[in-house]
Structure 1
Amino acid sequence: MTSWRDVEAGAPEFAARVRALFDAHRHKTIATLRADGSPRISGIETAFDDGELTFGSMSGARKGADLRRDPRFALHSATVDPVDGQEAQWPGEAKIAGRAIASGEITEGPSGDLFRADVAEVVHTHLNPQATLLVVEWWTPAQGHRTVERE
């Protein structure tokens, strides 16, 4: 099991940038797998709590049923467009993929299921300081932090 705490320990500056992108907006998008294997995209809220990335599913929601059946997920931060002429200031977008581990009932707000992330991959896509190259950074438990630049 790889927790968010492990990402922070392995690549602290990278993890801080990714977390800032997830914390910048309330609503994110999660991809789960339906019973027939096709993808489902749903809105979701997330939290970083005591070294864990957590998220919930309201009682009876399809995404919760998807995750209980097949725990694989891909989570995407909110996406904002770069401002024309200020592309170098664009913060980029972040993605986290892994497996959802059922962690009991939601204790605050509407009833539902709480999940914590077993993190398999974290990605931050942004532009270089000159805004001339796309920079893709990613972290995995096995290979740590890596970066590639693309035209």
Structure 2
Amino acid sequence: MSSYLPEKVKKLADSPIYVTLATIRPDGSPRMTVLWIARDGDELLLSTIRGRAKERDIARDPRVGIMFLDQRDPYGYVEVRGRATLSEEGGRELIDALALKYTGDETYRWDAPEATRIVIRVTAERVFTTG
């Protein structure tokens, strides 16, 4: 499948915009969570903690959706549908980079000491843009 992201998506992912991640619950219904986002080339990166519902959802069913809503143009949203993988590798570095991007703090300090950070890496299969 394609992992190409249009420039509009790259620009939004590189800005401090909040996104909504949709995962699939065990009963098939959607779970939606507002998150920070980063980009690695044509892949989208999100962060979670080991054991949270979204991590369990993705481990069971990797299909996800991400919606970008640009506050400057709310009719110009972007929807990315794809598949996610989970990895502990780079988890702490990602959340620290996201904290810097979104808050200006160099370190994310709100995790419990025993928390294990997970990288959610999304490869786009379909991208819908409006506006």
TM-score w.r.t. the length of structure 1 is 0.62
Which of 70, 74, 87 is the aligned partner of 1:103? Answer: 87
The question of 1:16 aligning with 2:1 is answered no
Aligned to 2:119: 114
3-state SS of 2:11 partner: helix
DSSP-derived class of the 1:107 partner = helix
State the SS of the aligned residue for 2:12: helix
Give me the whole-angstrom Cα distance separating, in 2, the residues matched to 1:30 and 1:119: 13
AA of the residue aligned to 2:69: A
Which of 25, 31, 34 aligns to 1:40? It is: 31
**Partner of 1:92 in structure 2?**
76
Which residue number in structure 2 is paired with residue 74 of structure 1? 65
State the 1:81 CA deviation.
Answer: 6.1
* 1:52 pairs with 2:43: yes
Deviations 1:97-130 (A, max 9, x none): 111012334132453211211211011111xxxx
Q: Deviation per CA, 1:46-95, whole angstroms, max 9, x where unpaired?
A: 2112443222212221111111111110001134265xxxxxxx781111
Larger Rg computed on CA atoms: 1
Inter-CA distance 22–93: structure 2 relative to 1 (3 Å threshold):
farther
Give the letter aligned to residue 116 of structure 1.
R
Q: Which residue of the partner structure matches residue 31 of structure 1?
A: 22
Distance (Å, rounded) in 2 between the aligned partners of 1:71 and 1:125: 25
Q: Secondary structure at the match of 2:88?
A: strand
How far did residue 96 of structure 1 move? 0.7
State the distance in 2 between where 1:38 and 1:100 align. 17
Give secondary structure in 1 for the equivalent of 2:17: coil
Give the Å deviation of 1:29. 0.4
Question: Structure 2: where are the runs of 5+ without partners?
Answer: 96-110
Greater RCO, 1 or 2 (C-alpha within 8 Å, sep 6+): 2
Residues 21 and 93, structure 1, Cα contact 8 Å, conserved in 2: no
TM-score by length of structure 2 reads: 0.70
In the other structure, the counterpart of 1:145 is none
Richer in strand (by share): 1
